[in-house]
Structure 1
Amino acid sequence: MTDKTSSSATDTPDTSDETAPSGDAPVGRPVVEVSPGAYKRLTTGLGGFALAMGACLLIVLAIYAVTPRGGKEVLPKVDYGSQLWAMRNGAPFTVYAPEGLSAKWRPTNSRVTGLGSEGEKPVAWHLGFVTPSDEYGALEQSNEKASDYIPRMANSSKPIGTQQVGGAVWTKYHRKDKKANSLARTLPDGTSLVVTGTASYAELAILAGALKPQAKDAALSPSATPGP
């Protein structure tokens, strides 16, 4: 008698439930289908991002192109008119200020000290410029004792000679370690004028020669006060 059960049994596993790979899709990786609308949104977003990044890069390059280079700071230009007015009308001495300097002399800082203070405190005015040669030159002016004020402003107490500027004699000073050149002069009323900085003596002489005495405003002058 033949055993039908044993004759129909096989050792081959049943693979009827497995999905056979088709096309070029890798075996074991799911195939993700994207609708045409979703594909358009994805590609459009990437394009917009690329355009935005390109625009940012152009802005950065434009800023870099117009930014001064060379390691030197560009100082802002200042208007020292208010300090000049205050000194001219409030200082206990005749104030000197530059007149006729070219536009290449850029005023970058102005500072007044001691004005309006009580007692015998000295009054001083500092006015700094960037010179046409891109160096620094400053006017220092005060009624402080000249023997104290001039050496401090010139960074030196040892004169190295004199220089004629517009018919006036100025004393020359030099401080090598600070690259400081200075021209100094004491006026008859005891007021000191010092032009100093990294600028050459030739440029400092231009600044010194431009200094002119400043008259007080007529409205504030005692002679303009109405009589009884």
Structure 2
Amino acid sequence: MAARRQEASRGRSVGGPASDGYRMSDRSPRQQRPRGGRVVAELGRPETPEETAARKAENSRNYRARKTINNLVYSLLATVGVVALIVLVVPRSDQPLDRAVDWRSVTQEAQQTRQETLVNPELPDGWSSNYAEIRSTGTGGVTSWNVGFVTPSDEFVGITQGFDADPTWLATQLNRSVASSVSTIGGLEWTVYDNRESTDGFGNVHYALTTESGTSTVAVFGTGSIDEITLVAEAIAPQVAANADDQNTEEDTQDSDTEDGGN
């Protein structure tokens, strides 16, 4: 009996709880996911703190770059919108910017303010005027009558008539041109300034004609041909000459007033 109890005791120690304990200790421990950073597929491992910082910095840079581009696009769209609004709202005139000036009627109106005879040429069809005005802020304070023309060949011819002008004023009008010859046109003697061989520094004064009559100094100049400039000078010659008659009449009137006062 004692032998059987010993044998049973040994059997329980082999197949009983002791056996179960042995099997549990024989199991593999549960694999724990390593704690750490974000696993990078390309690396097959968690990224290091340095790699994490670099990744975040790159993402931040890309975000700022995209935001800058977006802001630029929005700004351009806003600018285009403002321009379109201005174009739609601001009224526009149907009249051309280079409207022709009726120099004949302007001359008649200006003549009422001057004792001198203002030059007012009659020109053939195809000529137009782009300005006609009295200017009182010239060199040395000289007041002048000015008319500009566009010729049939689309060139420029200008007239300036200075009152009580000095040589400095005339030299300024002609951009310091040097006289080259003298010519008689319309019964008047005109000084010729020919800059056609070298127009640099002379502006529109490629060719010019000047004369004096009474208190008026008259210059005809421009980029037009010699024939076109001569045509204008010939057209205004009678009016230029009338300034001498105006001065003689004024002097006679002054002499008469002096004699009357003496008597």
Give the whole-Å Cα distance in 2 for the aligned partners of 1:74 and 1:133. 20
* TM superposition shift of 1:124: 1.0
Residue 186 of structure 1 corresponds to 212
Contact kept? 1:110, 1:128, Cα under 8 Å: yes
Residue 124 of structure 1 corresponds to 144
Residue 159 of structure 1 corresponds to 179
Residue 102 of structure 1 corresponds to 124
The structure 1 residue matched to 2:165, chosen from 138, 142, 145, is 145
Distance 1:170 1:89, change over 3 A: same
Unaligned segments of structure 2, at least 5 residues: 1-95, 243-263
| Greater relative contact order structure (CA < 8 Å, 6+ sep) | 1
- What secondary structure does 2:239 align onto? strand
* TM superposition shift of 1:121: 4.9
Residue 239 of structure 2 corresponds to 213
Distance 1:146 1:104, change over 3 A: farther
* TM superposition shift of 1:129: 0.5
* TM superposition shift of 1:208: 0.7
* TM superposition shift of 1:78: 1.2
- More moved, 176-185 vs 122-131: 176-185
Aligned positions, number:
137
* TM superposition shift of 1:160: 0.7
* TM superposition shift of 1:199: 0.8
- Name the one with the larger helix percent: 2
Structure number with bigger Rg: 2
* TM superposition shift of 1:142: 1.3
Unaligned segments of structure 1, at least 5 residues: 1-72, 216-228
Give the superposed CA RMSD: 2.7
Give the whole-Å Cα distance in 2 for the aligned partners of 1:201 and 1:154. 16
Residue 136 of structure 1 corresponds to 156
The structure 1 residue matched to 2:189, chosen from 169, 190, 194, is 169
Residue 53 of structure 1 corresponds to none
Residue 228 of structure 2 corresponds to 203
Q: How does 1:38-49 map to 2 (within 5 A)?
A: none
Distance 1:103 1:74, change over 3 A: farther
TM-score, normalised relative to structure 1: 0.53
Residue 102 of structure 2 corresponds to 79
